[in-house]
Amino acid sequence: MGLPVESCEVLKGPAPFWGPGGLMCRLQVFSECDATAVQPQVMLPMSADDLRGHEVDRLLAIQAAVLSETGWCLGVSREGLMQLSLMSWIDVPCEAVEALDLGNAVALQTLHLLMGGEDDEEDADDLLSLPGPRCNNDTCH
């Protein structure tokens, strides 16, 4: 993830940290017996309160597309910011890192769409064509 070793402690708890795309991220940790899994989350630098009128319609359309096509849920963080949360738990560190990278890409594209970027139809197609994580037990791609 490009974090200095001394910064890796922030990954253990629900505290937000700066992710690979310059957005705030968080790993929700679930532990039971000897098994630990994380749920990556990426915060967008905007609040749902910032949206009004037709922007809310756009938000709902984007939310549906992001969920159905990428497996990320667009909601609100405990800090009141819009947030993407992966709908599954990951127990392989390599896959968690790749999911955070993908989450940052989806978040940046979502933010662009929410802000009314040009060529919204093309951008929506780009959002839906983002690749999923590719990781096996030996290597990360």
- How confident is the model over 36-72, as pLDDT tens digits? 899 999 999 999 888 888 888 889 999 999 999 999 9
What CATH number should be reported for the domain holding residue 107?
Answer: 3.30.1460
The whole-number pLDDT of residue 77 equals 92
Give the residue among 85, 41, 66, 83 at the shortest CA–CA distance from 130.
Answer: 66
For residue 84, count CB atoms less than 10 angstroms from its CB and return exposed for 0-12, middle for 13-18, buried for 19 or more: buried
**What is the separation of C-alpha 71 from the centre of its chain, rounded to a whole number of angstroms?**
10
Is residue 117 included in any domain, yes or no? Answer: yes
The pLDDT value recorded for residue 104 is 94
As a whole number of angstroms, the distance between CA 113 and CA 122 comes to 10
pLDDT of residue 1: 45
15 domain-assigned: yes
Full-model pTM: 0.74
**Can you give the residue range of the structural domain that contains 66?**
5-128
Query: How distant is the alpha carbon of residue 60 from its chain centre?
Result: 17
In a domain, 133, yes or no: no
- Which tokens is 108 given? 């940046």
The verdict on residue 58 lying in a domain is yes
Let me know if residue 44 belongs to a domain: yes
Residue-level pLDDT at 68: 94
Q: Which residues in the chain show pLDDT less than 50?
A: 1-8, 10, 132-141
